[in-house]
Protein backbone atom coordinates (compact mmCIF):
# COMPACT_ATOMS: atom_id res chain seq x y z
CA UNK A 1 0.00 0.00 0.00
CA UNK A 2 1.27 3.43 -0.87
CA UNK A 3 1.54 6.16 1.69
CA UNK A 4 -1.31 8.55 2.28
CA UNK A 5 -1.48 11.74 0.21
CA UNK A 6 -0.62 15.04 1.89
CA UNK A 7 -3.08 16.22 4.49
CA UNK A 8 -5.74 18.72 3.46
CA UNK A 9 -6.60 21.80 5.45
CA UNK A 10 -9.99 23.05 6.55
CA UNK A 11 -10.39 26.48 8.13
CA UNK A 12 -6.75 26.60 9.09
CA UNK A 13 -6.70 23.18 10.77
CA UNK A 14 -4.92 20.09 9.52
CA UNK A 15 -7.43 17.40 8.66
CA UNK A 16 -6.82 13.67 8.09
CA UNK A 17 -6.01 12.89 4.47
CA UNK A 18 -8.11 10.65 2.27
CA UNK A 19 -7.35 6.95 2.90
CA UNK A 20 -4.34 5.42 1.19
CA UNK A 21 -5.52 2.86 -1.36
CA UNK A 22 -3.56 0.31 -3.40
CA UNK A 23 -2.53 1.74 -6.78
CA UNK A 24 -5.18 1.06 -9.46
CA UNK A 25 -4.28 -0.82 -12.65
CA UNK A 26 -6.48 1.19 -15.02
CA UNK A 27 -8.02 4.59 -15.48
CA UNK A 28 -11.50 3.32 -14.58
CA UNK A 29 -10.19 1.73 -11.39
CA UNK A 30 -8.50 5.00 -10.55
CA UNK A 31 -11.83 6.75 -11.00
CA UNK A 32 -13.67 4.27 -8.79
CA UNK A 33 -11.09 4.62 -6.05
CA UNK A 34 -11.11 8.40 -6.31
CA UNK A 35 -14.90 8.50 -5.94
CA UNK A 36 -14.77 6.09 -2.99
CA UNK A 37 -12.01 8.12 -1.30
CA UNK A 38 -14.17 11.25 -1.60
CA UNK A 39 -17.01 9.43 0.14
CA UNK A 40 -14.78 8.31 3.02
CA UNK A 41 -13.23 11.76 3.36
CA UNK A 42 -16.69 13.36 3.63
CA UNK A 43 -17.47 11.32 6.75
CA UNK A 44 -14.10 11.91 8.37
CA UNK A 45 -14.76 11.78 12.11
CA UNK A 46 -12.75 14.87 13.02
CA UNK A 47 -14.31 16.97 10.30
CA UNK A 48 -17.84 16.01 11.36
CA UNK A 49 -17.13 16.76 15.03
CA UNK A 50 -15.63 20.12 14.15
CA UNK A 51 -18.76 21.09 12.22
CA UNK A 52 -21.08 19.94 15.00
CA UNK A 53 -19.26 21.54 17.93
CA UNK A 54 -18.66 24.70 15.93
CA UNK A 55 -22.39 25.21 15.39
CA UNK A 56 -22.17 24.55 11.63
CA UNK A 57 -24.44 21.51 11.60
CA UNK A 58 -27.81 22.17 9.99
CA UNK A 59 -30.65 21.72 12.46
CA UNK A 60 -28.38 21.62 15.52
CA UNK A 61 -27.55 25.25 16.20
CA UNK A 62 -28.11 24.71 19.93
CA UNK A 63 -24.89 22.72 20.40
CA UNK A 64 -22.59 25.69 21.25
CA UNK A 65 -25.13 26.94 23.79
CA UNK A 66 -25.30 23.51 25.44
CA UNK A 67 -21.50 23.52 25.75
CA UNK A 68 -21.49 27.06 27.13
CA UNK A 69 -24.02 26.22 29.86
CA UNK A 70 -22.00 23.26 31.18
CA UNK A 71 -19.86 23.76 34.25
CA UNK A 72 -17.56 20.99 32.99
CA UNK A 73 -17.46 18.50 30.13
CA UNK A 74 -16.85 14.79 30.43
CA UNK A 75 -16.07 13.21 27.07
CA UNK A 76 -16.93 9.60 26.28
CA UNK A 77 -16.30 8.34 22.74
CA UNK A 78 -17.16 4.82 21.59
CA UNK A 79 -17.08 3.15 18.17
CA UNK A 80 -14.97 2.78 15.06
CA UNK A 81 -14.74 6.56 14.74
CA UNK A 82 -14.04 7.12 18.45
CA UNK A 83 -10.38 8.07 18.02
CA UNK A 84 -11.05 10.91 15.59
CA UNK A 85 -14.23 12.10 17.29
CA UNK A 86 -12.55 12.18 20.70
CA UNK A 87 -9.40 13.90 19.46
CA UNK A 88 -11.32 16.72 17.77
CA UNK A 89 -13.76 17.16 20.65
CA UNK A 90 -10.91 17.22 23.14
CA UNK A 91 -9.30 20.13 21.33
CA UNK A 92 -12.51 22.11 20.89
CA UNK A 93 -13.74 21.83 24.51
CA UNK A 94 -10.32 21.85 26.16
CA UNK A 95 -11.14 24.73 28.49
CA UNK A 96 -14.00 22.81 30.14
CA UNK A 97 -12.80 19.24 29.76
CA UNK A 98 -12.63 17.44 33.10
CA UNK A 99 -12.28 13.81 32.01
CA UNK A 100 -12.11 11.84 28.76
CA UNK A 101 -12.41 8.16 27.78
CA UNK A 102 -12.29 6.67 24.29
CA UNK A 103 -13.24 3.05 23.58
CA UNK A 104 -11.80 2.09 20.22
CA UNK A 105 -11.53 -0.99 18.05
CA UNK A 106 -8.46 -3.06 18.83
CA UNK A 107 -5.42 -1.63 17.08
CA UNK A 108 -6.97 1.80 16.45
CA UNK A 109 -4.90 4.76 17.46
CA UNK A 110 -5.05 8.10 15.66
CA UNK A 111 -3.55 11.27 17.11
CA UNK A 112 -4.86 10.68 20.61
CA UNK A 113 -3.75 13.13 23.25
CA UNK A 114 -1.90 11.95 26.33
CA UNK A 115 -4.62 12.98 28.77
CA UNK A 116 -7.24 10.87 27.00
CA UNK A 117 -7.80 7.46 28.56
CA UNK A 118 -8.06 4.87 25.77
CA UNK A 119 -9.44 1.35 26.02
CA UNK A 120 -9.83 -1.23 23.26
CA UNK A 121 -12.71 -3.58 22.58
CA UNK A 122 -13.29 -6.34 20.07
CA UNK A 123 -15.30 -6.18 16.84
CA UNK A 124 -17.47 -7.59 15.27
CA UNK A 125 -17.97 -9.82 18.31
CA UNK A 126 -17.25 -8.66 21.87
CA UNK A 127 -14.72 -10.29 24.16
CA UNK A 128 -13.36 -9.77 27.66
CA UNK A 129 -11.80 -6.45 26.62
CA UNK A 130 -15.23 -5.26 25.47
CA UNK A 131 -16.72 -6.13 28.83
CA UNK A 132 -13.93 -4.32 30.68
CA UNK A 133 -14.46 -1.28 28.46
CA UNK A 134 -18.21 -1.38 29.05
CA UNK A 135 -17.84 -1.47 32.82
CA UNK A 136 -15.37 1.42 32.59
CA UNK A 137 -17.94 3.40 30.58
CA UNK A 138 -20.62 2.86 33.23
CA UNK A 139 -18.23 4.02 35.96
CA UNK A 140 -17.22 7.01 33.83
CA UNK A 141 -20.83 8.14 33.42
CA UNK A 142 -21.52 7.64 37.13
CA UNK A 143 -18.67 10.06 38.01
CA UNK A 144 -20.38 12.98 36.27
CA UNK A 145 -21.65 15.63 38.74
CA UNK A 146 -24.71 17.87 38.61
CA UNK A 147 -24.04 20.71 36.18
CA UNK A 148 -21.64 18.60 34.10
CA UNK A 149 -22.21 17.79 30.44
CA UNK A 150 -21.60 14.23 29.29
CA UNK A 151 -20.44 14.67 25.69
CA UNK A 152 -21.03 11.24 24.16
CA UNK A 153 -19.45 10.67 20.73
CA UNK A 154 -21.01 7.52 19.29
CA UNK A 155 -20.28 5.65 16.07
CA UNK A 156 -20.98 2.24 14.58
CA UNK A 157 -19.24 -0.73 16.15
CA UNK A 158 -20.06 0.41 19.68
CA UNK A 159 -22.39 -2.55 20.24
CA UNK A 160 -19.44 -4.94 20.26
CA UNK A 161 -16.78 -2.61 21.67
CA UNK A 162 -18.74 -1.83 24.85
CA UNK A 163 -20.55 -4.91 26.19
CA UNK A 164 -21.73 -5.65 29.73
CA UNK A 165 -24.12 -8.63 29.94
CA UNK A 166 -27.34 -8.23 31.90
CA UNK A 167 -28.37 -10.37 34.87
CA UNK A 168 -26.85 -13.84 34.94
CA UNK A 169 -26.05 -13.91 31.23
CA UNK A 170 -22.48 -15.04 30.60
CA UNK A 171 -20.45 -13.09 28.05
CA UNK A 172 -19.53 -16.31 26.23
CA UNK A 173 -23.22 -17.17 25.83
CA UNK A 174 -24.01 -13.69 24.58
CA UNK A 175 -21.19 -13.96 22.03
CA UNK A 176 -22.41 -17.38 20.87
CA UNK A 177 -26.01 -16.31 20.25
CA UNK A 178 -24.95 -13.03 18.61
CA UNK A 179 -22.60 -14.87 16.25
CA UNK A 180 -25.32 -17.36 15.33
CA UNK A 181 -27.76 -14.54 14.63
CA UNK A 182 -25.19 -12.79 12.42
CA UNK A 183 -24.66 -15.98 10.39
CA UNK A 184 -28.41 -16.33 9.93
CA UNK A 185 -28.56 -13.14 7.85
CA UNK A 186 -30.30 -11.07 10.52
CA UNK A 187 -30.64 -7.34 9.95
CA UNK A 188 -28.84 -4.83 12.16
CA UNK A 189 -32.18 -4.02 13.84
CA UNK A 190 -32.76 -7.67 14.68
CA UNK A 191 -29.24 -8.00 16.05
CA UNK A 192 -29.58 -4.90 18.18
CA UNK A 193 -33.01 -5.86 19.51
CA UNK A 194 -31.41 -8.97 20.96
CA UNK A 195 -28.28 -7.17 22.14
CA UNK A 196 -30.31 -4.53 23.98
CA UNK A 197 -32.17 -7.17 25.97
CA UNK A 198 -28.98 -8.92 27.03
CA UNK A 199 -27.12 -5.77 28.07
CA UNK A 200 -26.73 -3.32 30.94
CA UNK A 201 -25.67 -0.54 28.54
CA UNK A 202 -27.70 -0.80 25.36
CA UNK A 203 -31.28 0.31 24.88
CA UNK A 204 -30.78 3.43 27.00
CA UNK A 205 -29.10 1.45 29.78
CA UNK A 206 -26.09 3.76 29.96
CA UNK A 207 -28.36 6.55 31.22
CA UNK A 208 -29.22 4.55 34.33
CA UNK A 209 -25.75 5.37 35.67
CA UNK A 210 -26.43 9.10 35.35
CA UNK A 211 -26.86 11.36 38.38
CA UNK A 212 -29.72 13.91 38.39
CA UNK A 213 -28.61 17.29 37.06
CA UNK A 214 -26.20 15.91 34.45
CA UNK A 215 -26.96 16.78 30.86
CA UNK A 216 -26.10 14.48 27.91
CA UNK A 217 -25.18 15.56 24.40
CA UNK A 218 -24.83 12.54 22.11
CA UNK A 219 -23.20 13.32 18.77
CA UNK A 220 -23.76 10.31 16.53
CA UNK A 221 -22.09 9.20 13.31
CA UNK A 222 -24.67 6.88 11.77
CA UNK A 223 -23.87 3.63 9.98
CA UNK A 224 -27.54 2.57 9.94
CA UNK A 225 -29.98 3.13 7.06
CA UNK A 226 -32.66 5.55 8.22
CA UNK A 227 -30.44 6.93 11.03
CA UNK A 228 -32.55 5.45 13.83
CA UNK A 229 -30.68 6.52 17.02
CA UNK A 230 -32.15 3.53 18.85
CA UNK A 231 -30.30 1.22 16.45
CA UNK A 232 -26.91 2.96 16.09
CA UNK A 233 -24.59 1.31 18.61
CA UNK A 234 -27.75 -0.27 20.06
CA UNK A 235 -28.87 3.13 21.40
CA UNK A 236 -27.04 3.55 24.75
CA UNK A 237 -28.67 6.99 25.32
CA UNK A 238 -31.96 6.48 23.47
CA UNK A 239 -35.38 5.11 24.43
CA UNK A 240 -35.88 1.60 23.08
CA UNK A 241 -39.17 0.73 21.34
CA UNK A 242 -38.40 -3.02 21.27
CA UNK A 243 -39.29 -5.57 23.94
CA UNK A 244 -38.24 -8.92 25.38
CA UNK A 245 -41.07 -10.39 23.34
CA UNK A 246 -39.48 -9.02 20.17
CA UNK A 247 -36.11 -10.55 21.06
CA UNK A 248 -37.67 -13.98 21.63
CA UNK A 249 -39.62 -13.73 18.37
CA UNK A 250 -36.46 -12.93 16.40
CA UNK A 251 -34.62 -15.97 17.73
CA UNK A 252 -37.59 -18.21 16.97
CA UNK A 253 -38.04 -16.75 13.48
CA UNK A 254 -34.37 -17.38 12.77
CA UNK A 255 -34.68 -20.98 14.11
CA UNK A 256 -32.18 -20.27 16.89
CA UNK A 257 -34.33 -20.38 20.03
CA UNK A 258 -33.88 -24.08 20.66
CA UNK A 259 -30.12 -23.79 20.23
CA UNK A 260 -29.67 -20.80 22.55
CA UNK A 261 -27.58 -21.26 25.72
CA UNK A 262 -29.78 -21.85 28.76
CA UNK A 263 -28.76 -18.55 30.39
CA UNK A 264 -30.02 -16.66 27.32
CA UNK A 265 -33.39 -18.40 27.20
CA UNK A 266 -33.86 -18.03 30.95
CA UNK A 267 -33.09 -14.31 30.89
CA UNK A 268 -35.37 -13.57 27.93
CA UNK A 269 -38.20 -15.70 29.29
CA UNK A 270 -38.05 -13.88 32.64
CA UNK A 271 -38.11 -10.57 30.83
CA UNK A 272 -41.02 -11.69 28.68
CA UNK A 273 -42.90 -12.67 31.86
CA UNK A 274 -42.35 -9.20 33.35
CA UNK A 275 -39.94 -10.35 36.03
CA UNK A 276 -37.14 -8.10 34.72
CA UNK A 277 -37.10 -4.39 34.02
CA UNK A 278 -37.52 -3.51 30.35
CA UNK A 279 -35.08 -1.37 28.40
CA UNK A 280 -35.50 2.40 28.76
CA UNK A 281 -38.80 3.52 27.28
CA UNK A 282 -40.10 6.80 25.88
CA UNK A 283 -41.36 9.10 28.62
CA UNK A 284 -38.69 8.19 31.15
CA UNK A 285 -37.73 11.45 32.96
CA UNK A 286 -34.00 10.93 32.38
CA UNK A 287 -34.52 11.48 28.64
CA UNK A 288 -35.43 15.13 29.22
CA UNK A 289 -31.75 15.84 29.87
CA UNK A 290 -30.56 14.13 26.66
CA UNK A 291 -29.98 15.48 23.14
CA UNK A 292 -29.23 12.86 20.47
CA UNK A 293 -27.95 14.47 17.25
CA UNK A 294 -26.80 12.84 14.00
CA UNK A 295 -23.60 14.52 12.76
CA UNK A 296 -23.03 12.43 9.61
CA UNK A 297 -24.38 9.40 7.81
CA UNK A 298 -24.32 7.29 4.66
CA UNK A 299 -26.07 10.04 2.71
CA UNK A 300 -23.19 12.38 3.54
CA UNK A 301 -20.82 9.90 1.90
CA UNK A 302 -23.10 9.35 -1.11
CA UNK A 303 -23.41 13.07 -1.83
CA UNK A 304 -19.63 13.47 -1.76
CA UNK A 305 -19.16 10.51 -4.10
CA UNK A 306 -21.70 12.04 -6.49
CA UNK A 307 -19.76 15.31 -6.54
CA UNK A 308 -16.52 13.46 -7.26
CA UNK A 309 -18.12 11.44 -10.07
CA UNK A 310 -19.69 14.55 -11.57
CA UNK A 311 -16.29 16.25 -11.64
CA UNK A 312 -15.09 13.32 -13.77
CA UNK A 313 -17.82 13.95 -16.31
CA UNK A 314 -20.39 11.37 -15.21
CA UNK A 315 -24.12 11.79 -15.07
CA UNK A 316 -25.33 10.68 -11.63
CA UNK A 317 -28.09 8.25 -10.75
CA UNK A 318 -28.90 7.29 -7.16
CA UNK A 319 -30.17 3.72 -6.89
CA UNK A 320 -32.34 2.63 -3.99
CA UNK A 321 -30.50 1.46 -0.87
CA UNK A 322 -28.33 -1.61 -0.39
CA UNK A 323 -30.73 -3.65 1.72
CA UNK A 324 -31.52 -7.36 1.89
CA UNK A 325 -29.39 -10.35 0.96
CA UNK A 326 -26.11 -9.33 -0.66
CA UNK A 327 -26.55 -11.96 -3.40
CA UNK A 328 -29.96 -10.58 -4.34
CA UNK A 329 -28.77 -6.97 -4.29
CA UNK A 330 -25.74 -7.80 -6.44
CA UNK A 331 -27.88 -9.54 -9.06
CA UNK A 332 -30.40 -6.70 -9.09
CA UNK A 333 -27.64 -4.14 -9.62
CA UNK A 334 -26.19 -6.20 -12.47
CA UNK A 335 -29.57 -6.32 -14.20
CA UNK A 336 -30.12 -2.61 -13.69
CA UNK A 337 -26.73 -1.52 -15.01
CA UNK A 338 -27.01 -3.86 -18.01
CA UNK A 339 -30.18 -2.09 -19.15
CA UNK A 340 -29.04 1.51 -18.68
CA UNK A 341 -28.44 1.99 -22.40
CA UNK A 342 -26.20 5.06 -22.21
CA UNK A 343 -22.55 5.66 -21.32
CA UNK A 344 -20.85 8.05 -18.88
CA UNK A 345 -23.26 7.20 -16.11
CA UNK A 346 -22.32 6.71 -12.45
CA UNK A 347 -24.81 4.80 -10.35
CA UNK A 348 -24.42 5.27 -6.61
CA UNK A 349 -26.06 3.45 -3.71
CA UNK A 350 -25.48 3.03 -0.01
CA UNK A 351 -26.74 0.95 2.88
CA UNK A 352 -26.07 -2.28 4.67
CA UNK A 353 -26.85 -5.61 2.97
CA UNK A 354 -26.73 -8.87 4.90
CA UNK A 355 -25.24 -12.28 4.22
CA UNK A 356 -26.74 -15.57 5.31
CA UNK A 357 -23.60 -17.65 5.84
CA UNK A 358 -23.88 -21.14 4.39
CA UNK A 359 -20.28 -21.89 3.51
CA UNK A 360 -16.95 -21.95 5.28
CA UNK A 361 -15.12 -19.36 3.21
CA UNK A 362 -13.92 -15.84 3.95
CA UNK A 363 -15.61 -12.61 3.01
CA UNK A 364 -17.93 -9.80 3.94
CA UNK A 365 -21.17 -8.34 2.69
CA UNK A 366 -19.51 -5.90 0.25
CA UNK A 367 -17.32 -8.60 -1.30
CA UNK A 368 -20.27 -11.01 -1.50
CA UNK A 369 -22.38 -8.38 -3.24
CA UNK A 370 -19.58 -7.59 -5.71
CA UNK A 371 -19.10 -11.25 -6.59
CA UNK A 372 -22.83 -11.83 -7.07
CA UNK A 373 -22.95 -8.82 -9.38
CA UNK A 374 -19.96 -10.03 -11.40
CA UNK A 375 -21.46 -13.50 -11.88
CA UNK A 376 -24.85 -12.09 -12.90
CA UNK A 377 -23.27 -9.57 -15.29
CA UNK A 378 -21.41 -12.41 -17.00
CA UNK A 379 -24.60 -14.46 -17.28
CA UNK A 380 -26.56 -11.57 -18.76
CA UNK A 381 -23.79 -10.88 -21.26
CA UNK A 382 -23.70 -14.52 -22.37
CA UNK A 383 -27.49 -14.70 -22.74
CA UNK A 384 -27.79 -11.55 -24.85
CA UNK A 385 -27.47 -11.41 -28.63
CA UNK A 386 -23.87 -11.72 -29.75
CA UNK A 387 -24.15 -8.65 -32.00
CA UNK A 388 -25.76 -6.46 -29.35
CA UNK A 389 -23.89 -3.37 -28.18
CA UNK A 390 -22.54 -3.87 -24.69
CA UNK A 391 -21.51 -1.03 -22.44
CA UNK A 392 -18.70 -1.80 -20.04
CA UNK A 393 -19.56 -1.94 -16.36
CA UNK A 394 -17.01 -1.35 -13.64
CA UNK A 395 -18.02 -1.22 -10.00
CA UNK A 396 -16.68 -0.89 -6.47
CA UNK A 397 -18.45 -2.05 -3.32
CA UNK A 398 -16.83 -1.26 0.01
CA UNK A 399 -17.43 -0.27 3.61
CA UNK A 400 -16.57 3.28 4.56
CA UNK A 401 -14.88 1.90 7.67
CA UNK A 402 -12.30 0.06 5.56
CA UNK A 403 -13.27 -3.29 7.06
CA UNK A 404 -15.64 -5.73 5.36
CA UNK A 405 -16.75 -8.52 7.67
CA UNK A 406 -13.97 -10.41 9.48
CA UNK A 407 -11.40 -9.60 6.75
CA UNK A 408 -8.68 -7.02 6.19
CA UNK A 409 -10.35 -5.74 3.01
CA UNK A 410 -12.79 -2.84 2.64
CA UNK A 411 -14.51 -4.47 -0.32
CA UNK A 412 -13.84 -5.35 -3.94
CA UNK A 413 -13.76 -4.05 -7.51
CA UNK A 414 -15.28 -5.80 -10.51
CA UNK A 415 -15.02 -5.12 -14.23
CA UNK A 416 -16.20 -6.59 -17.54
CA UNK A 417 -13.38 -9.16 -17.53
CA UNK A 418 -13.67 -10.30 -13.89
CA UNK A 419 -15.20 -13.70 -14.64
CA UNK A 420 -12.97 -14.28 -17.66
CA UNK A 421 -9.86 -13.60 -15.61
CA UNK A 422 -11.24 -15.84 -12.88
CA UNK A 423 -11.72 -18.71 -15.34
CA UNK A 424 -8.13 -18.30 -16.52
CA UNK A 425 -7.04 -18.53 -12.88
CA UNK A 426 -9.14 -21.66 -12.28
CA UNK A 427 -11.72 -19.85 -10.12
CA UNK A 428 -15.46 -20.45 -10.24
CA UNK A 429 -17.48 -17.39 -9.14
CA UNK A 430 -20.66 -19.34 -8.37
CA UNK A 431 -18.79 -21.87 -6.27
CA UNK A 432 -17.08 -19.05 -4.39
CA UNK A 433 -20.48 -17.41 -3.81
CA UNK A 434 -21.96 -20.62 -2.43
CA UNK A 435 -18.98 -21.04 -0.11
CA UNK A 436 -19.13 -17.38 0.99
CA UNK A 437 -15.51 -17.17 -0.15
CA UNK A 438 -15.50 -13.88 -2.05
CA UNK A 439 -12.38 -12.73 -0.20
CA UNK A 440 -10.12 -15.45 -1.61
CA UNK A 441 -11.71 -15.08 -5.05
CA UNK A 442 -10.90 -11.37 -5.27
CA UNK A 443 -7.58 -11.77 -3.51
CA UNK A 444 -6.41 -14.17 -6.23
CA UNK A 445 -7.38 -11.61 -8.89
CA UNK A 446 -5.83 -8.66 -7.04
CA UNK A 447 -9.24 -6.99 -6.91
CA UNK A 448 -9.68 -6.40 -3.19
CA UNK A 449 -9.97 -2.81 -1.98
CA UNK A 450 -7.41 -2.55 0.80
CA UNK A 451 -7.40 0.65 2.87
CA UNK A 452 -7.00 -0.50 6.44
CA UNK A 453 -9.39 0.94 9.05
CA UNK A 454 -10.38 4.45 7.95
CA UNK A 455 -11.32 5.75 11.39
CA UNK A 456 -14.92 6.37 10.40
CA UNK A 457 -18.05 4.29 9.83
CA UNK A 458 -21.03 5.35 7.72
CA UNK A 459 -22.15 2.08 6.16
CA UNK A 460 -21.36 0.64 2.75
CA UNK A 461 -21.19 2.32 -0.62
CA UNK A 462 -21.67 1.06 -4.19
CA UNK A 463 -20.21 2.92 -7.18
CA UNK A 464 -20.97 1.65 -10.68
CA UNK A 465 -19.53 3.21 -13.85
CA UNK A 466 -21.09 2.65 -17.26
CA UNK A 467 -18.90 3.44 -20.26
CA UNK A 468 -18.56 2.60 -23.96
212, 63: one domain: yes
Predicted pLDDT at 342: 87
Question: Does the residue 3 lie in any domain?
Answer: no
Q: What is the pLDDT of residues 369-379, one digit of tens each?
A: 999 999 999 99
280, 251: one domain: yes
Question: Does the residue 423 lie in any domain?
Answer: yes
Predicted pLDDT at 3: 32
268, 306: one domain: no
Q: Is 233 helix (H, G, I), strand (E, B) or coil?
A: helix
418, 370: one domain: yes
75, 101 in Cβ contact below 8 A? yes
Q: What is the pLDDT of residues 173-185, one digit of tens each?
A: 999 999 999 999 9
Q: What is the pLDDT of residues 15-67, one digit of tens each?
A: 334 444 443 458 999 999 999 999 999 999 999 999 999 999 988 999 999 99
The parent domain of residue 377 ranges over 32-44+298-467
Residues of the chain by 3-state class (helix, strand, coil), percent to 5: 40, 20, 40
Predicted pLDDT at 21: 45
58, 185: one domain: yes
Is the pLDDT at 1 greater than 50? The verdict is no
Q: What is the pLDDT of residues 410-462, one digit of tens each?
A: 999 999 999 999 999 999 999 999 999 999 999 999 999 999 999 999 999 99
Is the pLDDT at 383 greater than 90? The verdict is no
Q: What is the pLDDT of residues 140-171, one digit of tens each?
A: 999 999 999 999 999 999 999 999 999 999 99
Of 275, 295, 315, the domain-final residue: 295
Question: Does the residue 11 lie in any domain?
Answer: no
- What does DSSP assign to residue 19? P
Q: What is the pLDDT of residues 174-221, one digit of tens each?
A: 999 999 999 999 998 999 999 999 999 999 999 999 999 999 999 999
Q: What is the mean pLDDT of the chain?
A: 91
Strands 13-15, 8-10: pairing is antiparallel
Question: Does the residue 7 lie in any domain?
Answer: no
Q: Is 421 helix (H, G, I), strand (E, B) or coil?
A: helix
For residue 187, give the CATH number of its domain.
3.40.50.10180
Report the chain's terminal Cα–Cα distance, integer Å. 30
Per residue, what are the HEC states of 158-212?
Answer: HHHHCCCECCCCCHHHHHHHHHHHHHCCCCHHHHHHHHHCCECCCCCHHHHHCCC
80, 68: one domain: yes
- What does DSSP assign to residue 289? G
260, 362: one domain: no
Is the pLDDT at 2 greater than 90? The verdict is no
State the CB neighbour count (10 A cutoff) for residue 183.
15
Residue of 108, 123, 14, 43 whose CA lies nearest to 398: 43
Q: What is the pLDDT of residues 78-137, one digit of tens each?
A: 999 999 999 999 999 989 999 999 999 975 544 555 678 999 999 888 999 999 999 999
Predicted pLDDT at 458: 97
67, 137: one domain: yes
Of 295, 326, 360, the domain-final residue: 295
Per the model's pLDDT, the better-predicted residue between 14 and 159 turns out to be 159
319, 187: one domain: no
Predicted pLDDT at 14: 35
- What does DSSP assign to residue 124? S
Predicted pLDDT at 6: 29
- Number of domains making up the chain: 2
Of 259, 274, 295, the domain-final residue: 295
Question: Does the residue 8 lie in any domain?
Answer: no
Predicted pLDDT at 46: 96
155, 234: one domain: yes
286, 357: one domain: no
275, 343: one domain: no
Predicted pLDDT at 384: 73
55, 419 in Cβ contact below 8 A? no
Predicted pLDDT at 26: 82
Predicted pLDDT at 139: 98
Predicted pLDDT at 382: 82
- pTM, to two decimals: 0.89
Predicted pLDDT at 112: 59
What mean pLDDT do residues 250-273 have? Answer: 96
For residue 386, give the CATH number of its domain.
3.40.1480.10
Q: Cα separation of 459 and 468, whole Å? A: 30
Question: Does the residue 170 lie in any domain?
Answer: yes
Phi-psi region of 108 (alpha: psi -120 to 50; beta: other; left: phi over 0): beta
Is the pLDDT at 71 greater than 70? The verdict is yes
Amino acid sequence: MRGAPPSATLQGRTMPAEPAIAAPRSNLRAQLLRIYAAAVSAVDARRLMARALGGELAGAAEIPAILEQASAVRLLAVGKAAAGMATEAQQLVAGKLRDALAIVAGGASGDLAKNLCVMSGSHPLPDASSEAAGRAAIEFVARARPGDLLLFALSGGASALMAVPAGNVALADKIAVTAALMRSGASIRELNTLRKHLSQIKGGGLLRALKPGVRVLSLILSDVPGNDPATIGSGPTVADPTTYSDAVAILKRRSLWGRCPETIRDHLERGFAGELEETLKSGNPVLSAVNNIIVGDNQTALEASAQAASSLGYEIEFWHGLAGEADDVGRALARHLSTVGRPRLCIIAGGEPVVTVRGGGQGGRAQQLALAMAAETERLHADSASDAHHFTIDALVAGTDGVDGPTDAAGAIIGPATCLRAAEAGLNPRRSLDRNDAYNFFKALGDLVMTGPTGTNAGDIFIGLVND
